[in-house]
Amino acid sequence: MGASYDYIIVGAGSAGCVLANRLSADPASRVLLLEAGPADTAKEIHIPAGFTKLAKTAVDWDYATMPQSALDNRAVHWPRGKVLGGSSSINAQMYIRGHALDYDSWPQLGAPGWSYAEVLPYFRRSERNVRGAGDYHGGDGLLDISEQREPNPLTRRFLAAAQEVGLPRNDDFNGPVLEGAGLAQVTQRRGQRRSAAAAFLRPAAKRANLTIATDALATRIAFEGRRAIGVAYRTQGRDETATGGREIILCGGAVNSPQLLMLSGIGPPSELEWHGVKRIHDLPGVGQNLQDHLAVPVLADISSTESLMDAETLGNLLRYLVLRTGKLTSNVGEAAAFLRSLPDLAAPDLELVFVPALFEGEPGVPPTRHGITIFVVLLQPHSSGAIRLTSADPAAKPMIEANYLADVRDRAPILHGLALVRRMLAAPAFAGVITGKVEPPTSAASEDDLMAHVRQRAQTLYHPVGTCRMGQGPDAVVDPTLRVYGVAGLRVVDASVIPRITRGHTHAPAMMIAERAADLIVAAARKGGD
């Protein structure tokens, strides 16, 4: 065994950065943070609109699903951050927590202590919101939450069109009401991205008791009997093992955390046996319950040159470098609208995300002409999938079976959203602007025509959760304190523990989970046991 620590955190993403900060705040606690990717030095990370260039680069795990039978057998690209800050370093910076009912459902699903009233203080703890402290926001946290510096004029048209088709205005998606259309607040500070690494890790990096290891791929959790005692990892071509005296904490996210559990002998017994992995504990729920937000784009060519297609001109670059203004400050997903596909639903089941640019291909493919994209996002899918191993080799990419649209109930809400977006594009706010091609075209009038568009164009909104489900029963992976069932000294703290996907984006809840986990971990240490 190598160096010894009190806590070993695997993964420096949204949750891992929060935990590294909070646990190392006690100078008596020695903390090791392992990150498989590099430091967050790429300039595109820090320029808000630059993240569109980061897909399929060294800071992206570059995952893809299995061919999806409901999507014309297409494999869907899944960018995931492989860098300090994780996906918070490559995302669209939209800060949207979800609906209160999301969290109030968690205790009903076997996770007491996670109701909205109980988790709201942890959301507020993280925030340094420009709107100041209040019932729903924090004012002195580490994560800067800002208004957008210079929203695109096309985004204003989207908001006007939303009201013209009957959607109310909502200026705070994280306040008492989620429903309605408005500008998204963003994780930015003075025109730069504020990732979890920038907000939480950078202030803690100087602490002598915190060790940050980049380019360090965790390969296995080391056990003594059924107690986790360390982590084996690969760095600079050599294998190392660090020991953790108190706890090992997985923060790899919905793909990597279940993968590492299975590689370490914890998971469905048939999966472990198939790949020749020595079994530590049979836990059938590992990798199951995979949920994601499917996003269907509606694309429209425009006569205006106001889109983000030319965001990288010399003039825009100079404006950004000198003034921190202009198109490069855009988070790309500038506005959103939340709505119900049926009037008797208790909360929104659809989100519209407005992008003042034309995105016809996969993430990272730049637009070739001026246009806009409105994504119809299914917030509460009935379909679920799984993460499985493809090999016992830790460097092998796992199998992602997203299972999109496998449940036919997921189709009607999407069709409702597509119909509404087409009404918006025909509203007065867009008159004279949308003069070119629209996809799906107006000739696509039947449900079959629209579903053909869904099969050809649907993609992920990058929100996988649920694969180490928190709760009780045979399919649960962690208990309500996030300890892995059947073993000691091991927790999972990331979006994989979410039992049911939220009606918002996943960056904020991942950090909230880490904030609450920090309190649980510190309390356990004070009691002197697991």
Any idea which residues carry the catalytic annotation? 463
**In the chain, what is the greatest distance between 2 CA atoms, to the nearest angstrom?**
70
3-state secondary structure of 156: helix
Burial of 342 (C-beta count, 10 Å sphere; 0-12/13-18/19+): exposed
Q: How many CA atoms lie within 13 A of 223 on its CB side?
A: 17
Task: Tell the residue number behind the tokens 């019932």, with chain if given.
Answer: 135
Task: Tell the residue number behind the tokens 């370093």, with chain if given.
Answer: 89
Alpha helices in 165-230 (DSSP H): 196, 202-204
3-state secondary structure of 60: strand
Burial of 485 (C-beta count, 10 Å sphere; 0-12/13-18/19+): middle
Other C-beta atoms lying within 10 Å of the C-beta of residue 282: 14
Inter-helix orientation angle 116-126/100-108, to 10°: 130
Q: What angle do CA 75, 495, 68 make, to 5 degrees?
A: 15
Q: Quick one: which of 1, 62, 63 has its CA closest to 32?
A: 1
Given a contact cutoff of 8 angstroms between Cβ atoms, the answer to whether 45 and 89 are in contact is yes
Distance CA 392, CA 389 (A): 7
Given a contact cutoff of 8 angstroms between Cβ atoms, the answer to whether 316 and 496 are in contact is no
Inter-helix orientation angle 411-425/447-457, to 10°: 100
Distance CA 481, CA 521 (A): 9
Q: How many CA atoms lie within 13 A of 129 on its CB side?
A: 20
Encoded amino acid at 42, one letter: A
Q: What are the tokens at 373?
A: 């994209």
6: left (phi over 0), alpha (psi -120 to 50) or beta: alpha
Beta bridge partners of 227: 224, 488
Distance CA 109, CA 128 (A): 31
